[in-house]
Amino acid sequence: MRKISLILLSVLLLAAPVSASGREDVVYSWNCSDKRIALTFDDGPHPTQTPEILDILREYGIRATFFVIGQNAEWYGDCLAMVYAEGHEIGNHSFSHANLTEAGYDGVCREIDEAERLIGERIEYRPHLLRPPGGQLGEELCRAASERDYTLVCWSVDTLDWAHTPPDVIAQNVLSNTEGGDIILFHDYVSGESPTPAALRIIIPGLLAEGYEFVTVSELIGAEE
């Protein structure tokens, strides 16, 4: 995992996802000459945290990519419909947030397919982006994703919001390390009190002032439908 401030390095080393460095079938960032970047949000939808994030994105006219857990789509279908109706991109984040490196091929397929089914039932949309929980990659996952025409997406900047990192530290890390083509990892569900909204209110205007353009992951990688 690259681009992390020294103040967070020890935390990240303990929690870093399994890397597939050099794999051409996994997107971490995109090589582009302009200042386009993608905000991504994992683990939702959530009935209170997701709407708060949507309010902020709406205020700044930003579209993002939400990687949705199928179980949460089942529980909070109205919230998922709100995300989709506001023009944000929806990705598959498995059914139960299982560790897919330990699920076996059949288990991986069930996790992907069940999440896809539930998302489709709620918003009549079939995702084409897949983010494995924790960024943990394995051969079974890559095989299943390829068979289903999914693009595997990880990230290049980890905000560590899931670790309840203070908003000002998150903002310092992102503002100091973001470059054009980056995919930034946030969460629209964090257990307990989430630092994400406060961090976004610092980060978004800061990056806009530096000339960055926020796009969806598919727009960033040139895979618009």
Domain residue limits, the chain = 6-12+38-221
Q: Which of 42, 43, 158, 188 is catalytic?
A: 42
Residue 182 DSSP label:
B
Residue 43 DSSP label:
E
Torsion of CA 50, 20, 30, 207, to 10 degrees: 50
Alpha-carbon span 127 to 67, nearest angstrom: 9
Q: What local confidence, expressed as pLDDT, does residue 223 receive?
A: 65
pLDDT in tens, 38-93: 999 999 999 999 999 999 999 999 999 999 999 999 999 999 999 999 999 999 99
Is residue 42 part of the annotated active site? The answer reads yes
pLDDT in tens, 23-40: 568 999 999 889 999 999
- Containing 184, the helix (H) or strand (E) segment is strand 183-187
Q: What local confidence, expressed as pLDDT, does residue 5 receive?
A: 35
Is the domain covering 6-12+38-221 a CATH 3.20.20.370 domain?
Answer: yes
What is the mean predicted confidence (pLDDT) over 8-33?
A: 58
Q: What local confidence, expressed as pLDDT, does residue 154 receive?
A: 98
Asked if residues 165 and 8 have their Cβ atoms less than 8 Å apart, the reply is yes
Q: Which two tokens stand for residue 29?
A: 């960032």
The pTM score is 0.90
Q: What local confidence, expressed as pLDDT, does residue 33 receive?
A: 87
Average pLDDT score over the chain? 90
> Where do we find the tokens 């179980």?
71
Alpha-carbon span 70 to 81, nearest angstrom: 13
Is residue 187 part of the annotated active site? The answer reads yes
pLDDT in tens, 178-206: 999 999 999 999 999 999 999 999 999 99
Q: Which of 46, 158, 187, 188 is catalytic?
A: 187
